[in-house]
Structure 1
Amino acid sequence: MPPYALLAIAIVAEVIATSALRASEGFSRWVPSVIVVAGYGLAFYCLSLTLKSIPVGIVYAIWSGAGIVLISMVALVLYRQVPDLPAILGLGLIVSGVVVLNLFSKMQAH
């Protein structure tokens, strides 16, 4: 499987696991707790495979940037946590940083 596809799976799995973490209510609810463990397990497995061919700095920038933005959108939809202007600006800066790193950095995938 292409490394960026594995990274996308890892990001989605991590976002699902993080969303379920809130729903698990401190691991007191069984079904969300299982989703948390399975989601993080899949996320880190796919992330480890990604690191075989993409530099860790690039992987982590994409992983964290995309994860932050996606979990913010999930929080908006599921939990009605509306980001204010500083939050939106901060998210924009994160996305901008990931784009700059990927377009202009000399760190290249092998």
Structure 2
Amino acid sequence: MSGNASLGWGLLALAIALELSGTILMKVSGGFARLWPSVFMFACYGASFTLLNFSVKHIPLGVAYAIWSGVGITMIGVVGHYFFGERLKMASLVWMGFILIGIVGLKWSES
């Protein structure tokens, strides 16, 4: 791993944004029924994995992957609720909160 952690965190943030975009496009594609959202979904996921791959040159793999997946899980839950009208049970919100606490803990452990 190289010493440029800020580059790694920036790449990870972009990877998360692209993963979130890809997941939103998955919903919009209607199970591959709509061509362009499906195409862009694959492009977003490919770019996300590529940036995640580059980020692990600067951040430990386990930390990067846990943050990438944890932030993605919680953010898509929020997006699903506010933009797609999906209902979140209180228990789901509590567990998402624990995921976020774990993500903050991982970030602090790397600082």
TM-score w.r.t. the length of structure 1 is 0.88
Asked if 1:93 corresponds to 2:101, the answer is: no
Q: Does structure 1 retain, via aligned residues, the 8 Å contact 2:7–2:58? A: no
Query: Deviations 1:7-44 (Å, cap 9, x if unpaired)?
Result: 11100100110111112122121111011111001101
- The list of structure 1 runs, each at least 4 consecutive aligned residues, that deviate by more than 6 angstroms after superposition, is none
Q: Does structure 1 retain, via aligned residues, the 8 Å contact 2:8–2:58? A: yes
Counting aligned pairs with the same residue, the percent is 36
| Superposition deviation, residue 57 in structure 1 | 0.9
Q: 1:63: which partner in 2?
A: 68
What is the letter of the counterpart of residue 99 of structure 2?
Answer: I
Q: 2:3: which partner in 1?
A: none
TM-score w.r.t. the length of structure 2 is 0.87
Gaps of 5+ in 2: 1-5
Q: 1:47: which partner in 2?
A: 52
Q: 2:14: which partner in 1?
A: 9
CA RMSD of aligned residues (A): 1.6
Aligned residue-pair number: 106
* Separation of aligned partners in 2, 1:22 and 1:96: 27
Gaps of 5+ in 1: none
Q: Secondary structure at the match of 1:2?
A: helix
